Structure 1
């Protein structure tokens, strides 16, 4: 049992998975793409909100959502390769199951935006609202990953203190 009588969660990574994670070049790729995607998201969000509020900047807003979607595709493909290298499956490894489920929603919404843009299925305002829906799902997914990685760091912290003799 953990603090306050809560059941202890299993560690995010087994020792073998941690070793594979640390040895994989895809870990670095994910470490670069994740903050890049967040930066593109912030810029695009500002452009989409500007277009929604003023009606101006349609081309820049659309281009930014396309750029965000391309970065999303890159992180999804390389993330699947990373997941295979670490956990032995491309998607839905138990450690990241719910993050992958929400990632599929994020991917579907971004792809729907591209389809609507390319096929002219929605007016400008509809496109911008679809982009915001995709971005809301992305924000939830990003929070999931940040919380998961923080939990993993906290789980490994006691072992680090013991290994370095810092435990009291």
Structure 2
């Protein structure tokens, strides 16, 4: 089975006018707008704690808790993002406008979930766990960049549409 992007609803546009109206009217847009920067803040704090542990050998428990909190945010934003996609695009995931972001999100989730598995099964040493967390965080940073670029494109599209005379 191969994964293919669904056909575009409107070539060259991120949102159709109907999708844009649903996006703007949805409470889930606000939820995503709050969760995304909150998750990023948790990521930055956790990244610092993980790097501190790897550098000094101190703070393992704090770093571990921060990774668990970051992973919780990731799962929460994935579920609420799927609901948002359903409302805006009519499908829970892999809508054309966010297809590649969603594909990469699954890699991010897989790495975070692998960390949970390794932690709870004691499959890795503490240092190995932190390195796995860094791999998950690197994937998250790439995925966050994808979404930021998409947000920028949406803003540019909205600005361009608002400048078009009626």
- Is the structural similarity TM-score above 0.5? yes
The alpha carbon displacement at 1:154 in A equals 1.0
1:148 matched to 2:136: no
Matched residue count: 156
- CA deviation map 1:6-60 (0-9, x unaligned): xxx6111000000111111111100000000000000000000000111110000
Cα distance in 1 for partners of 2:29, 2:148 equals: 15
Task: Give 2:34's aligned residue.
Answer: 32
Which runs of 5 or more residues in structure 1 are unaligned?
Answer: 1-8
Counting only pairs closer than 5 Å after superposition, residues 55-74 of structure 1 correspond to structure 2 as 55-74=57-76
Matched, 1:98 2:111: no
Q: What TM-score results when the alignment is normalised by the length of structure 2? A: 0.91
- d(CA) in 2 for partners of 1:23 and 1:157? 18
The Cα of 1:156 is off from its aligned counterpart by 2.0
Distance across 1 between alignment mates of 2:155 and 2:96: 18
Moved over 2 A (4+): none
Q: Which protein shows a greater Rg? A: 1
| RMSD between aligned residues | 1.1
Higher normalized contact order (CA 8 Å, seq sep 6+, divided by chain length) = 2
| Separation of aligned partners in 2, 1:158 and 1:62 | 45
Q: TM-score, normalised by structure 1?
A: 0.90
